Structure 1
């Protein structure tokens, strides 16, 4: 059986509807938006094809309960050792929708919302659009890697903390001790925590993902199968509402604001969480190989790229001197300045590189970047 992660088909990626490759000029490699260049697990593909063969595109009906919720609860218990509270999980379209609803129902205009910066750019934009105030928590670099500080929470009054773990873009995975300390601080400050754990299944040994709600039961946990199983465009996510106050508020909210993810998105999510772990294991082997390729490449640069190999995710955060490389290298990365927008933090020297691609394509990306960074041109 062929390794599905050994090679990719750029023509397939360019000819489809995906923004990662389809929005780029011919000859430019996409290494920016957080999609993978691989396909999807066989079980996911078969679940979609089965639904298509049945022409089953009506309004969803789950007489035995929503299968996404059941699959989520089982996965959290069996893979991550956390038992969600029954009746506290809702299905949404994506994490941005979850964030927006939590902001609207748990905070007021002008309230402070804390988040580690650099941060996922749409989260920063969402906070600002809602009329709330970003309280940036520093991400600092030490000898052993990136450190996510929580100390400003003791000094600044915030209503909500958006905790992204594993962290995007640095790939940092917080330890149990760090999370326990944060849980204590959140309780002291009466601080609501929204834990974005969408990359939980993409963690490299010996690191381990610890659900924050297992230490702080009032947490809102937001996650999805979309990152680990490459189905972002299908739009299905879940939120476990640990906070009694927020749970009661959402129970009173109009149902229409939550939306109804499709049958396709639900059957794909269930197939991913229930039947695709062998595919995930093989994927992680390739990603682990790729992150070490980048580590070796960064170490050979003639300047300190301030790089630490990510402990989770398929994203690398590198200091490339603020160079605009897309035209010269014909590689599109995510520009670092986007990850600190609407704050006084300066991340303009950095870029985020998505390494969820074949080793051969990653090698081509790194060779092009080397030629551009060191003054040459790619062949």
Structure 2
């Protein structure tokens, strides 16, 4: 076998050189190796509704989706997505020309960015951000321009002046996430209205990741950006079944957008997976039609878990940012005498038998996120109780 010379070009595309193995893979492997409780990666440890699972089994047995489904997604699911947007938000989408089914929200993000960006285009994204955003912007040849959410009075807030200042003549697109992972912030009506005004004024496209739309707590309210004046025709809205119905392995996501935008996204998506998750698409169509009582009970269950974990983390000595949405709690490790989230998370399984994720991986400016650590609470109550008990040893 011939060895490569030291001067040979690196194998990995230089646009991806800064991205190694995702932190989720690293921390999940650490959990397996140490037997620690994994509160790092955001996946539930129980399946979603039995009737939805049975709908997938029924589709398999009936031969629905076992072969390639239609490129845009099965008609039943596209109709169900359109119906969901209409019932919940008063947004009217044509299932045939304005709805696209994807292999999870991750593919929807990739397809949207690959479709809508040219090399050199700037993308303004709220920092911290889900790690695939940065990789997809890089693959499309775009330039990330982060606007940092900063702690303020117990939550992370967006500085609208900073957002406005980040937009230049090279800005093509705003990439938003609300409810926001990892901080748990839910953008308010006033904040969204200001973002909408900016997008219209500067003629920007917007990709908005709303996968946690059904996980908002207390007085927080999820309002789709597409519902604001001037936004429907310039907004690509992304949703997902994984977070709402606790079937993350099914990888069923969707895009809603005006016909021209949707056609562009579909043009990229067809060369990624082409199609995926055939039988599961039929099951998710049924899931979206579940009564409001399901969504209310799901929120209440997650809110109780949030409260349990947040209280336990505070008792263990963490600074706690109580989330208004998602199923993650961001904490500050400085009250524990720590400053480096990476080192803290890599030692936590041995010290306390729990795995978390350092928020710094979600930042361009790593120093901004250095003292923050994210915990997931989408786990069974006994698991969370055990984790809280273990974490209390940190302040003992």
Bucket of the pairwise TM-score, normalised by the shorter protein: 0.7 to 0.9
* Paired residue secondary structure (1:352): strand
Unaligned runs of 5+ in 2: 1-26
Report the TM-score when normalising by structure 1. Answer: 0.84
Q: Identify which of 112, 116, 125 aligns with 2:135.
A: 125
Change (3 A) 1:240 1:293: same
Matches within 5 A, 1:105-254: 105-143=115-153, 145-156=155-166, 157=168, 158-215=171-228, 216-217=231-232, 218-242=234-258, 244=260, 246-247=261-262, 249-250=264-265
Change (3 A) 1:41 1:283: same
Deviations 1:293-333 (A, max 9, x none): 23323443546x1x221111111111123223122222111
For the 8 Å contact 2:160–2:191, the answer to whether it is kept is no
The aligned counterpart of 1:81 is 90
Q: Identify which of 316, 335, 338 aligns with 2:361.
A: 338
Instruction: Confirm or deny that 1:293 pairs with 2:344.
Output: no
Query: How many pairs were matched up?
Result: 351
Change (3 A) 1:299 1:71: same
Structure richer in helix, relative to its length: 2
Deviations 1:113-164 (A, max 9, x none): 1111111112122223333211111101111522123433433322111110
Change (3 A) 1:43 1:130: same
Deviation (angstroms), 1:44: 1.1
Deviation (angstroms), 1:257: 4.4
The aligned counterpart of 2:19 is none
Deviations 1:229-260 (A, max 9, x none): 1122112111112374x345457669444611
Deviation (angstroms), 1:354: 0.5
Unaligned runs of 5+ in 1: 1-18
Change (3 A) 1:20 1:51: farther
For the 8 Å contact 2:329–2:376, the answer to whether it is kept is yes
Q: 2-side partners of 1:193 and 1:199: how far apart?
A: 18
Change (3 A) 1:130 1:344: farther
* Paired residue secondary structure (1:24): helix
Q: 1-side partners of 2:60 and 2:262: how far apart?
A: 35
* Paired residue secondary structure (1:124): helix
Instruction: Confirm or deny that 1:48 pairs with 2:56.
Output: yes
The aligned counterpart of 1:261 is 276
Deviations 1:190-223 (A, max 9, x none): 1111010000011113221101101121211011
Report the TM-score when normalising by structure 2. Answer: 0.81
Change (3 A) 1:254 1:114: closer
Change (3 A) 1:59 1:364: same
Q: 2-side partners of 1:222 and 1:195: how far apart?
A: 6
For the 8 Å contact 1:28–1:332, the answer to whether it is kept is yes
The aligned counterpart of 2:17 is none
For the 8 Å contact 2:256–2:262, the answer to whether it is kept is no
For the 8 Å contact 1:40–1:231, the answer to whether it is kept is yes
* Paired residue secondary structure (1:109): coil
Deviations 1:60-81 (A, max 9, x none): 369x961111111111121233
For the 8 Å contact 1:229–1:280, the answer to whether it is kept is no
The aligned counterpart of 1:351 is 373
Q: 1-side partners of 2:317 and 2:253: how far apart?
A: 42
The aligned counterpart of 1:60 is 69
Q: 1-side partners of 2:63 and 2:237: how far apart?
A: 33
Greater Cα shift, 110-119 or 149-158: 149-158
